[in-house]
Each structure stands twice: as C-alpha cells, then as structure tokens.
Structure 1
Amino acid sequence: MAAICVFCASSRTLEPSWLDIAAQTGREIARRGHTLVSGGGCVGMMGAVADGARSGGGHTLGVIPQLLVDREVADVSADELIVTEGMLDRKNVMIEKSDAFLTLPGGLGTLDELFEVWTTATLGIHRKPVVLLDAGGFYTGLVDWLVGLAGTRFVSRSAIDMLAVADSVPAALEAIEERLG
C-alpha cells in the first residue's frame, strides 16, 4: 500500500462541507489500506483528514515545524509525528515520505505544496502521482487557466498531463492507484 500525502487547508474557520470532504478523504485512504501523510496539524481540514483516517483504522504520519508545535496545533494523536526546524524542511520530509500527492481545497500554503510537487515531477526529480481534487469546482478556474498556458507554451502539454484532476474523493484515489500501477 502507498503513503499518500494530502495537502489541504488548516484554517480554523471553514464551512462544515470542506471538513466533511477532508474527513471522507481520510476514511477512504484508510479503507483502501494506505497511510496518510499530512502536515501534522490538528485544525481545519488537516485535522479532519487525519481524524478521518484514524476513524477508519488508518496509519497517520504528521510532519510539522516546531513553530506550529509551539502554537499548540500539532496532531498529537498521529501514529508518527515528525517535528522539523521549519516549513521548507517540513515540505521536504513530506515529499520524501510519500508515494503520491493529493491536493484538497486550500489556500496559499496548499497551492505552494501542489506547485512544488508538480514542478519537481515535471523536472523528473520524482515520478510520484500528483492529483488535484476539484471538489465542487473549487479549482476549476485554476485548472482552466493552467490548461490555457499550454497554448502559450509557458507550460508544456506533458506537464499538464502529469496533473490528474478528479471531482470526487473516490475518483482521486483511483487516479493515484492507477498511476502507482
């Protein structure tokens, strides 16, 4: 089974529907026998995905920088919790520990993580699947813009093809599993 890294929002002020999607993602990862790799936080969608995975009997690995541990937002219920010096170290450990990446709705930090793993995949630094969950059309505008960039040659068609876009949690995990072989 795979270690699937989930990038998502950690905001405390999210609508319940986003938290439900995160919890569903965690449960589905566990149901399929995969390990969840997360940003190690206990709040927002990040906390919900980890709680969902654990409720389904899944193994959770959190990676969190010390500055967030100091703010008391660490997922102390994680099966494994790795504390890093900073945000860049956190991202590098998450990439190293994961076999695939799934991006749920989120803000700047989530987009940073998505573009990091997608860019490094296009450069051949890794061959790990990168999947974007476009729940409720959350990322439709972004995806349309990115596809449009292929026409300008600022982004290659092969780079666009490396990003799988799914509209449901089961479809996102199926895309990961298909790409893992």
Structure 2
Amino acid sequence: DSSVPIVRARLSPVGEGLQIAVYVKDQEDLFARICAYFERHGFSIWDARIHTTKHGYALDTFQISGSNLVDEGGSYRDLIQLVEFELTAALQNTDPLPSPSMGRLSRQSRIFPIQPRVHMIPDERGQYYALSLSASDRTGLLYAVSRVLAKHQVSLHTARINTLGERVEDVFLLDAANLSKNPKLQILLETELLEALGV
C-alpha cells in the first residue's frame, strides 16, 4: 500500500526512444500529470497503455520519443535515470496542472490536415463511456486532452494511444459516474475536446 510511485524506463525495444512504466496508487489527474511531464520536457507520446487494477493501482506504459532525447555528451543511461527520478517527483507534486502549450503541426499536417473527431458512447451497462479521438499529431496533444478530462473530473479507466504517422487514433474508457448524471457535461466535454484537438 505504498503511495510512492514506481517509475521504470528503458530503451524502447520497438524503435527509437524510451519505454516507460509507471505503477502507483491511482489518483485524481494522474494521467494528466504524466502527460504534463512529457510535454514540458519535449517528449512525444506515440504509444500508451493505461490500466487500473482491481486494487486501485494504475499500471501505465508509454513509448516516448523526442528530437533531443540525449544531448551531446550525455547518454541514454543518464536520461533513463533522470526520467525515472523527475517523473517520480512530478507524480508526488500536488500543484495545479500547468496550462498546455500548443505544439506546432508538422508541415505535412498543415498541408494535409486531419479533421479532428470526437465520438463518445456509453457501454451497455452504463459503467463506462468509450471516447475515441482522431486528429493531426502535435507535441502536447495528449496532455491537452488529459487536462480537459481532469478539469471536468472525468476518471480514466483505460486508454489505448496510437500515433500513426501524422495521425493520432486514441481510445479512452471513461468512468461514467459524472457523465451519466449530467448529459450537458458530455456535450461540454466533446466541445472542449474538439477545441483541444484543433490548432
């Protein structure tokens, strides 16, 4: 029953970048805090798996990359230790979430834009809402989305994050507690998510 996060990083086994695993007692805004850390340090999340155990712990994995993962003279070993230390500290911080920066779209995304799409439907038992998003990829996009969810106190149960070239295709399973009680919240959430996905 430790509240101290366990953060482990290693070289990605599926390409460039790092693979990061986070195991911690689930808490409010956890996913947003993780995404804020990555955005603040210029990392792009191109794959993520978010899980909540039956015992109330989050087990999240991320594949990240960045244009300057290792500075000149540095090593991946140093970067791995730094990410493990700093992300652990960031998860123990209870300050308000910072405002997201609007990352720039790539030249290809500006020439061939992808119309942002948000689709939310309840499951058959009314326990969860499935939220699917698609948009042009940019740095900080996932943090902008997670911050909207945190702002409205919508809990994330699981997520599958996929970046397919210049396109993101993300699926979230949201706790229906707040959403099913307030239909206006669903409309507001969809509107704010579309704004977050736009440029």
TM surpasses 0.5: no
Going by fraction, where is helix more abundant, 1 or 2?
A: 1
Larger of the two Rg values belongs to structure: 2
Going by fraction, where is strand more abundant, 1 or 2?
A: 2
- The TM-score normalised by the length of structure 2 is 0.28
